[in-house]
C-alpha cells in the first residue's frame, strides 16, 4: 500500500536522498513550457497594452522555466531494505512511501529526447500506485542509475553505495538469459492485420482535413490530386467503390505495418537466471519492462479475427501488479506481440507451470450452450432484418438474405471458440469469435469462486463460473457450463473449498437435516 505524508520522517532525513540526473534540466523546463502554453498566451493577450506585453510574456515564461528547474531541486528518491520513498512538490511537499515487497514490475522507457541525452524514465508498478498515474515515476535518471535501481528493487543486486558503484553494478538493458521470444523481420507480415492502422489513418485524415480547412487550401486545385480525382470520377460506380476500398485497405495496411515496426522493433522476451522476465522493444522510443516471474499467474493467448486468419496470435501475461484497463501494450503486460502462432505458443509453454495447457484440447460446450449461440445469432438477425425491411431503402431489401449465412457462420465460430479444461493445476478457458482469447491460469492464483445465472441461463440449465484472482483483470469466467461441469472445475482446482458443501452417499445425517444435491 502507499502512504503519503507532508514531510519526510526523521529516519528518512538521516539517510541520503538521491536526486534526478542534472540533464533533466534540459527536458523538464521545456515540458513545463509546453504544458503552460495556453496560460502563457492568455497572459500575453490580457497583459496590458502593446508596450508591456513583451514584459508580461518574458516574466511568465521565466516563471514557468523556474518551476521546471525547481522540480529537479525538490524531487528525490530513497531506497531502504524495506521501502522506497519518493518526495516531490514545490508549493505542496509530499512523500510517497511504498513497501518493497509491493513492487511487482519496473518499467524503463526512453522517449527520443531522453535517448539523445542518455536518460531513462522509470515507473515502478505496485498494483496500486501505478493506477494513479505518476505515483512512482522518476523522470529522469541516467541509464546506469535506472538499471541499477531496477536490479535493486527486483532483488537482483545490493544497493550501490555511490554513483560509481551504481554504474559498475548496472547491467545492460538487455541481459543474457533464456530467450523466449525474439523479433524477426517475418513478424512484419502480421502488422497489417492489427487495428492500429485504422486508428492511425483516422487521426492522420482528421489532422490533414483540419489543416487544409484552416489553411484555406482546396485540394482539388492541386495538379496531382485533381488528376487522381478526375480519373476516379470517370470510372463506373462499382469500379469507383472497388478502387476506393482497395486504396483504403492499402493505406491502413501500410500504417499498421509502420506502427508495428516503430513499437515492436527488436522485441525481445528474456528470462534471466534470477527469475525476472524482461521485455524490451521500440525503435524511436525504447522501452524495457522487468517483471518478477513469481508474480506471473498465467497467460492469455489473444487471436483477433484478422490475425487468426493470417495464422498469428499474441501473448499477454496474467500478472499481479501490472496496470489493467489501459491496454496490454501501455500497461506492460504484453509478453509477445502479434507473431506467428507457433512462436507465440512456444513462448506460452515456456512461461506456464503446465506447458501443455497452452495447446491442450478443451472440453466441448454442452448442447444447451451451443444452442444459445445460434439462438442469439438468429434473434439478432431477425431484429436487424425487420428494421431493414421496415425502414430501409429499396436497394437494401435483399440484405437479410446475405446476412443470414453470415449470422450462422458467426454462431458456428463462437461455438468452436467455446471451451474449458483443467490441465494439472491450471485452469484453461477459451471464448470469443471476433477476438478469441484462451486464458491459462495457475490454480494457485485462484482466491475464490462465483456462480452466476441469468434468467435465460436458468431456463437452459447453465451457469457462468468465475474464478476470482488478484492478477490481471481480477477474474476469469467460463461461460455456459452445466452444474456438473462447474463443480468438476472447482473440485479439480480447489477441493478444500467445495468439500464442506458436499454430502457423500451413505454419510450419516441428522434426523432434521435435508439432503443436499451436489
Mean pLDDT across the stretch 206-211? 68
Going through 293-434 in order, the beta strands assigned E by DSSP cover 296-304, 312-319, 334-340, 419-423, 426-431
> 233: pLDDT confidence band, cut at 50, 70 and 90?
confident
d(CA 265, CA 329): 14
Grid coordinates in use for 468? 476470482
d(CA 122, CA 153): 12
Q: Tell which wins on pLDDT, 296 or 508.
A: 296
- Each residue's pLDDT tens digit, 70-119: 888 888 888 888 889 888 877 788 888 888 888 878 888 888 888 888 88
> 216: pLDDT confidence band, cut at 50, 70 and 90?
low
399-416 and 367-391 helices, crossing angle to 10°: 160
- Each residue's pLDDT tens digit, 423-472: 999 999 999 998 999 999 999 889 889 999 999 999 999 999 999 998 88
At residue 484, the pLDDT reads 92
Residue 133 has pLDDT above 50, yes or no: no
Grid coordinates in use for 104? 511487482
At residue 517, the pLDDT reads 42
Q: Which residues pair with 5 in a beta bridge?
A: 95
Closest Cα to residue 187, out of 314, 348, 284?
314
d(CA 441, CA 455): 29
d(CA 189, CA 450): 41
At residue 238, the pLDDT reads 77
At residue 285, the pLDDT reads 85
Residue count of the chain, please give it: 518
> 9: pLDDT confidence band, cut at 50, 70 and 90?
very low
- Each residue's pLDDT tens digit, 238-252: 788 888 888 888 888
- Each residue's pLDDT tens digit, 28-74: 777 777 777 776 667 666 655 556 667 766 777 777 777 777 888 88
Maximum Cα–Cα distance across the chain: 100
At residue 502, the pLDDT reads 63
> 15: pLDDT confidence band, cut at 50, 70 and 90?
low
User: Any idea what the Cα angle at residue 410 is, between residues 404 and 413, rounded to 5°?
Assistant: 145
| Number of Cβ atoms within 10 Å of the Cβ of 210 | 10
Residue 217 has pLDDT above 80, yes or no: no
d(CA 346, CA 359): 10
Mean pLDDT across the stretch 357-369? 94
What is the C-alpha end-to-end distance of the chain, expressed in Å? 41
Mean pLDDT across the stretch 201-212? 67
Amino acid at each position: 500500500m502507499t502512504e503519503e505524508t507532508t514531510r519526510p520522517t526523521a529516519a528518512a532525513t538521516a539517510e541520503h536522498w538521491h536526486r534526478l540526473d542534472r540533464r533533466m534540466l534540459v527536458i523538464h523546463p521545456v515540458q513545463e513550457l509546453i504544458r503552460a502554453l495556453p496560460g502563457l498566451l492568455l497572459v500575453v493577450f490580457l497583459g496590458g497594452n502593446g508596450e508591456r506585453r513583451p514584459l508580461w510574456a518574458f516574466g511568465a515564461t521565466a516563471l514557468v522555466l523556474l518551476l521546471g528547474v525547481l522540480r529537479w531541486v525538490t524531487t528525490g528518491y530513497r531506497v531502504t531494505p524495506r521501502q522506497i520513498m519518493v518526495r516531490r512538490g514545490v508549493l505542496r511537499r509530499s512523500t510517497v512511501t511504498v513497501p518493497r515487497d509491493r513492487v511487482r514490475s519496473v518499467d524503463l522507457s526512453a522517449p527520443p529526447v531522453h535517448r539523445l541525452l542518455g536518460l531513462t524514465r522509470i515507473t515502478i508498478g505496485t498494483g496500486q500506485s501505478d493506477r494513479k498515474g505518476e505515483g512512482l515515476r522518476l523522470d529522469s535518471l541516467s541509464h546506469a542509475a535506472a538499471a541499477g535501481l531496477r536490479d535493486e528493487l527486483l532483488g537482483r543486486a545490493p544497493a550501490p553505495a555511490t554513483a560509481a558503484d551504481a554504474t559498475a553494478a548496472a547491467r545492460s538493458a538487455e541481459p543474457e538469459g533464456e530467450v523466449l521470444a525474439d523479433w524477426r523481420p517475418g513478424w512484419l507480415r502480421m502488422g497489417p492485420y492489427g487495428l492500429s492502422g485504422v486508428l492511425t489513418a483516422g487521426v492522420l485524415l482528421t489532422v490533414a482535413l483540419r489543416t487544409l480547412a484552416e489553411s484555406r487550401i482546396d485540394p482539388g486545385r492541386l495538379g496531382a490530386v485533381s488528376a487522381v480525382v478526375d480519373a476516379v470520377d470517370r470510372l463506373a460506380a462499382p469500379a469507383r467503390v472497388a478502387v476506393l476500398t482497395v486504396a483504403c485497405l492499402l493505406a491502413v495496411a501500410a500504417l499498421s505495418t509502420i506502427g508495428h515496426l516503430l513499437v515492436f522493433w527488436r522485441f525481445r522476451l528474456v528470462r534471466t537466471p534470477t527469475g525476472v522476465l524482461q521485455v524490451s522493444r521500440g525503435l524511436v522510443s525504447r522501452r524495457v519492462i522487468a517483471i518478477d516471474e513469481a508474480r506471473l499467474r498465467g497467460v492469455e493467448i489473444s487471436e483477433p479475427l484478422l490475425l487468426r486468419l493470417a495464422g498469428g496470435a499474441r501473448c499477454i501475461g496474467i500478472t499481479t501488479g501490472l496496470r489493467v484497463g489501459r491496454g496490454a501494450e501501455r500497461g506492460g503486460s504484453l509478453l509477445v506481440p502479434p507473431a506467428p502462432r507457433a512462436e507465440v505458443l512456444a513462448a506460452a509453454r515456456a512461461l506456464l507451470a503446465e506447458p501443455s495447457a497452452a495447446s491442450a484440447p478443451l472440453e466441448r460446450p454442452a448442447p444447451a450452450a451451443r444452442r444459445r449461440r445460434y439462438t442469439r445469432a438468429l434473434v439478432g438477425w431477425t431484429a436487424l432484418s425487420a428494421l431493414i425491411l421496415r425502414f430501409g431503402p429499396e436497394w437494401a431489401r435483399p440484405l437479410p438474405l446475405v446476412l443470414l449465412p453470415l449470422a450462422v457462420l458467426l454462431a458456428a465460430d463462437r461455438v468452436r471458440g467455446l471451451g474449458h479444461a483443467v490441465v494439472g493445476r491450471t485452469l484453461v478457458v477459451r471464448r470469443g469469435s471476433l477476438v478469441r482469447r484462451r486464458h491459462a491460469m495457475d490454480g494457485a492464483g485462484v482466491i475464490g469462486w462465483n456462480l452466476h445465472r441469468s434468467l435465460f441461463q436458468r431456463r437452459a440449465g447453465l451457469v457462468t463460473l468465475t474464478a476470482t484472482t488478484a492478477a490481471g483483470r481480477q477474474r476469469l469466467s467460463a461461460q455456459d457450463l452445466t452444474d456438473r461441469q462447474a463443480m468438476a472445475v472447482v473440485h479439480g482446482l480447489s477441493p478444500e473449498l467445495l468439500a464442506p458443501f458436499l454430502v457423500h452417499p451413505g454419510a450419516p445425517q441428522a434426523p432434521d437435516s435435508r439432503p443436499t444435491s451436489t
